[in-house]
Amino acid sequence: MAYPIFQPNIETASREEIRSIQLEKLKTQVSWAYDKVDWYRARFDEAGVKPADIQTLEDIRLLPFTDKQVLRDTYPFGLFAVPLNEVLRLHSSSGTTGKPIVVGYNAHDLDVWSDCIARLAQMAGVVPGDRAQMAFGYGMFTGGFGLHYGLEKLGCMVVPASSGNTERHLMMIEDYQMTVLIATPSYAMHIGEVAESCGFDWEKSSLRVGLFGGEPCPPALKQEIESTMHITCTDNYGLTEVMGPGVSGECLASRDHQHIAEDHFLWEVVDPETGNAVEEGGEGELVLTPLDKQAFPVIRYRTHDLTRVICEPCACGRTHARMEKVRSRTDDMLIIRGTNVYPRQVADVLAGIAGVSPHFRIVLDNDKGLDTMSVLVELEPEALSDSFAAMDTFRKRIAEKLKQNTLVSAQVKLVEPNGIERTFGKTKYVEDNRKK
Ligand code: DLL
């Protein structure tokens, strides 16, 4: 079987060539960050490292890590390396208390991003002329716009349907003869459920490929969607801080892995406790350094995603290293309908409301393929009232504040004082009942 490749001379370069491209770009990227961003210059100086000290790829270990906290501390533009009038796009990521983190792209960055997306689409068998229906949200989430421009670059017709309005999605798949669906796996599952309830016939549908990502996609879920919709789906990985989708993509020859776009990202796998490199092929936390970012350089970003990386050649012909699908993280981040939520965001919101105890529980369920979040909120005795209307207003106010902060709608249930069970005095803050 021949697999089409978007940039064959880069995607099938020898390991030596890839390392040499990476080293050249790494040197430039480190100098760029040092010269243009005060924060990097101060940190590198503190660590006693100058850009000229980077002589091999392993020398990256001389540099300090960055993490989400750094992006918060420098909010909104403290890590930007180009004048703001050269920045063409901002995106942001949820999952932090208070302000989100902000990232920016100039024309060069957007061009690189589209190449990375066109690559992962080709890996899944998408070809110019395909008709791609977008069910990722457009907005601050990187999924919608990221995939949109990359697919246009590949030569696809893109229908920017966005997420929601599932019956309209089905109508468009049928009427416009769509061939590619872009969605989070949980939303794709939901489309499948709605299709079943309205008698949609997938056997007659023109849909051929699903491009998924943004959250873990358990193999059983992928297989279920593939067999329901009669399509082939790939699962693609990325994160806002280093670009968005496009960091790595699944090819059709190695279904449990994703090829990292190694000419654009230098990867390390480290022990989450010590920060030291794990042995080759060992499991650890993925650390990424984008090699081609001008507006928003990021050096040694701690993703908190656990994986292992292998460099053996792949049957698809690509030589870029493959990371195992991410199934878990080193922190407690939850992904709910594609939105990142930390339990401490809920804790912070509740801490600001009088009459509420610090004990709560986030309960996650899955209703017809869609994640749902309920929050059990324990009351202090003084907040109890006999008036149903007063309690209901209070409940709605909490739900509104949670929505503002986490960007996810939650059903709030008020619980009497001491009503949330403690085990050995400890509250279990998350109960995740979603299909694993
Ligand atoms: O989810 C970017 C993206 C959009 C990737 C669309 C693919 C498709 P964030 O919202 O910043 O960015 O969330 C990033 O989501 O650190 C992982 O923990 C998780 N994640 C993203 N893709 C996958 C995946 C986008 N395919 C965080 N498998 C990451 C497992 C994923 N986890």
- Inter-residue contact 170 to 195 (CB < 8 Å): yes
Atom of ligand 1 nearest to the CA of 141: 10
What does the DSSP assignment read for 153-204?
HHT-EEE---SS-HHHHHHHHHHTT--EEEE-HHHHHHHHHHHHHTT--GGG
Q: What per-residue confidence (pLDDT) applies to 36?
A: 98
Residue 246 near ligand 1, beta carbon < 6 Å: no
Residues 369/189, Cβ–Cβ less than 8 Å: yes
Atom 27 of ligand 1: nearest residue by CA position: 239
Out of 148, 335, 337, 339, give the residue to mutate to test ligand 1, the one with the largest number of ligand atoms within 8 Å of its CB. 335
The CA 391 to ligand 1 mean position distance, Å, reads: 38
Which tokens is 86 given? 């050269």
Asked whether 236 lines ligand 1 (CB < 6 A), one says yes
Q: Which of 116, 215, 302 to mutate to test the pocket of ligand 1 (most atoms within 8 A of CB)?
A: 215
Q: Which conformational region is residue 385 in: left (phi greater than 0), alpha (psi within -120 to 50 degrees), or beta?
A: beta
| 303 CB within 6 A, ligand 1 | yes
Find the 51 Cα to ligand 1 centroid distance in Å. 31
In 3-state terms, what secondary structure has residue 165? Answer: coil
264 alpha carbon – ligand 1 mean position (Å)? 17
Judged against a pLDDT cut of 90, whether residue 246 lies above it is answered with yes
Of 268, 166, 252, 267, nearest to 210 by C-alpha is: 252
Model pTM score: 0.91
pLDDT tens readout for residues 307-352: 999 999 999 999 999 999 998 899 989 999 889 999 989 999 999 9
pLDDT tens-digit map of 166-178? 999 999 999 999 9
Q: Across the chain, which distance is largest between two alpha carbons, in Å?
A: 73
C-beta 329 within 6 A of ligand 1: yes
Cα 204 to Cα 56, 179, 269, 384, distances in angstroms: 54, 12, 44, 57
Residue with more model confidence, 405 or 108: 108
Q: Tens digits of per-residue pLDDT, 57-72?
A: 999 999 999 999 999 9
Identity of the residue numbered 170: L
Residue 436 has pLDDT above 60, yes or no: no
- Quote the ligand 1 centre to 421 CA distance (angstroms): 33
Atom of ligand 1 nearest to the CA of 241: 11
Question: How is residue 375 written in tokens?
Answer: 């929050």
Cα(256)–Cα(266) distance, integer angstroms: 21
Q: Would you tell me how many other CB atoms lie within 10 Å of the CB of residue 57? A: 15
Q: Buried (b) or exposed (e) across 323-352, using 16+ Cβ within 10 A?
A: bbbbeebeeeebbbbbbbbbeebbeebbee
Q: Per-residue pLDDT averaged across 262-280, rounded?
A: 97
Does residue 291 have its Cβ closer than 6 Å to ligand 1?
Answer: no
Average pLDDT over all residues of the chain: 94
Closest ligand 1 atom to Cα of 327: 30
Question: At 284, which amino acid appears?
Answer: G
Residue 380 pLDDT > 90: yes
Residues 6 or more apart in contact with residue 201 via CB below 8 angstroms: none
Cβ 120 under 6 angstroms from ligand 1: no
Whether the CB of 216 sits within 6 Å of ligand 1: yes
Average pLDDT over residues 106-122: 98
Q: Model confidence at 98, in pLDDT bands (50, 70, 90)?
A: low
Give the distance (Å) from ligand 1 centre to CA of residue 381.
Answer: 41
- Asked whether the CA dihedral 310, 314, 316, 321 is positive or negative, the reply is positive
Ligand 1 within 6 A of CB of 240: yes
Task: Report the separation in Å between the CA atom of 359 and the middle of ligand 1, taken as the mean of its atom positions.
Answer: 29
Atom of ligand 1 nearest to the CA of 235: 26
Q: For the segment 342-370, what is each residue's pLDDT rounded down to a tens digit?
A: 998 999 999 999 999 988 999 999 887 78
Q: Please work out whether the CB of residue 237 comes within 6 Å of at least one atom of ligand 1.
A: yes
Ligand 1 centre to CA of 60 (Å) is 24
Measured from the CB, is residue 239 less than 6 Å from ligand 1? yes
Mean pLDDT for 106-132 is 98
- Asked whether the beta carbons of 410 and 373 are under 8 A apart, the reply is yes
